[in-house]
Amino acid sequence: MLTVFSPDHIRHDPHVEMADGKLVPAVEIPRRAEMVHFAVLEAELGEIIAPDPLDRALVEQVHDASYVQFLESFWQRWLDAGRDPNVDDTFPFVWPTPGLRKVETRHLDGLMGRYSFDAGTPMGSGTWQAVSASAATAQTAAIKVSEGLPHAFALCRPPGHHAMPDAYGGYCFLNNAAIAAQALRNGGAETVAVLDVDYHHGNGTQAIFYNRSDVFFASIHADPMDEYPYFLGHADEIGAGDGEGFNLNLPLPIGTLWPDYANVLSHVLAQIEAFKPDAMVISLGLDTFERDPISQFALKNDDFKTLGAALGGATVPTVIVFEGGYAVDDLAVNAVNTLTGFLD
Ligand code: Q9C
Ligand code: ZN
């Protein structure tokens, strides 16, 4: 399988994040992608290429232009505001929740709140460089598949599936999976299915395609009544307008083991098959693993082989996009198990 990877991900190097009501060591760290990159090399899964430059027009098909401009200009604005140039991690702290207005303020704190939805996503001096390389990784993998490859692995970092049309959060800035899906549409696929198997609901991908019938979004994730992102991902969210019936959420309880997960997965795969997509995007989070430090499903190393095999059963051109997964020392084996299971 072709892998697309950019070493520029290391430019996003957070040290702390907000979790459990306080600042704690960051878990979305460069070593995650380095581990998966090394594992793909070692397993000799195939060629590894660098991404082509990011196509801004493509990004603006799934994100607001003003939001992309904010991400790109953030660090210069930080410096222009006279703030500490040596901080690794910056955080918003005020949001235009319903009843307040999404004003494009002159003040940076207003802008950070306007364009985010949580305080758990540190931004730093090199974040845009890493984020744009990550999005370009998804774009390049999708174009390769549009051009005829049966599948490709976009080794993206930072992850993307929480990123909204106009807001960052959940360690995500640009929605790599949505960019891949849109690139597949632009490349000739009339219909695309996005299957999100990250432990967390892909609220950003859902929001981006919620009113569209050309992209079917399906997600299996921890019940948002008990787990991040809380405010989206519930089973009664079925799409709206033209998109009604083209959004499927399957929340599962904390503690879910592979047999229950597998049952739901086969149901979702049958729904996707009924949709008859021309292409597919898989948001591959490895945080369903039993020893993931921030997650509470209990898939074992070997279960990822079976997961990969199930995902590979759909014989439709597929882009696999790396999302979450924070048990750093097990990412290598879990990634390779999924990808080799997919190929077998
Ligand atoms: N106590 C992805 O997997 N913070 N994002 C959790 C844990 C947010 C996860 C705090 C988790 C976001 C791409
Ligand atoms: Zn996740």
Write out pLDDT tens, residues 147-200: 999 999 999 999 999 999 999 999 999 999 999 999 999 999 999 999 999 999
Q: Is the CB of 285 under 6 A from ligand 1?
A: yes
Q: Is the CB of 170 under 6 A from ligand 1?
A: yes
Nearest CA to ligand 1 atom 2: 324
What is the architecture, at CATH level 2, of domain 2-343? 3-Layer(aba) Sandwich (3.40)
Query: What is the mean predicted confidence (pLDDT) over 7-22?
Result: 96
Q: Is the CB of 48 under 6 A from ligand 1?
A: no
Which atom of ligand 1 is found nearest the CA of 325? Answer: 3
The residue type at 273:
E
Q: How far is CA 177 from CA 71, 100, 114, 309, in A?
A: 18, 30, 23, 20
Write out pLDDT tens, residues 95-135: 999 999 999 999 999 999 999 999 999 999 999 999 999 99
With a threshold of 0.95, does the pTM exceed it?
A: yes
Beta bridge partner(s), residue 151: 318
State the Cα torsion 257-19-82-173 to the nearest 10°. 20
Distant-in-sequence, close-in-space partners of 2: CB < 8 Å, separation ≥ 6: 46, 47, 48, 49, 141, 144, 149, 151, 152, 153
Write out pLDDT tens, residues 295-312: 999 999 999 999 999 999
Ligand number with the minimum distance to the CA of 118: 1
pLDDT of the residue at 251: 98
ipTM given for this complex: 0.97
pLDDT of the residue at 193: 98
- Give the gyration radius of the chain's Cα atoms: 18
As a whole number of angstroms, the distance between CA 2 and CA 303 comes to 23
The answer on pLDDT for 7 being more than 90 is yes
Distant-in-sequence, close-in-space partners of 205: CB < 8 Å, separation ≥ 6: 161, 175, 177, 178, 181, 194, 196, 217, 219, 283
Distance 295 CA to ligand 1 centre (A): 8
Among 16, 36, 205, 228, which is best to mutate for testing ligand 1, by the most ligand atoms less than 8 A from CB? Answer: 228
pLDDT of the residue at 314: 78
Handedness of CA 122, 124, 126, 131 (dihedral sign): positive
Distance 171 CA to ligand 1 centre (A): 7
Distance 57 CA to ligand 1 centre (A): 29
Write out pLDDT tens, residues 66-90: 999 999 999 999 999 999 999 989 9
The answer on pLDDT for 3 being more than 90 is yes
Percent of the chain with pLDDT over 90: 99
**Average pLDDT of the chain, as a whole number:** 98
75 neighbors 125 (Cβ within 8 angstroms): yes
63 catalytic residue (yes or no): no
- Domain residues of the chain, as ranges? 2-343
**Helical packing angle, 303-312 and 328-343, nearest 10°:** 40
pLDDT of the residue at 312: 96
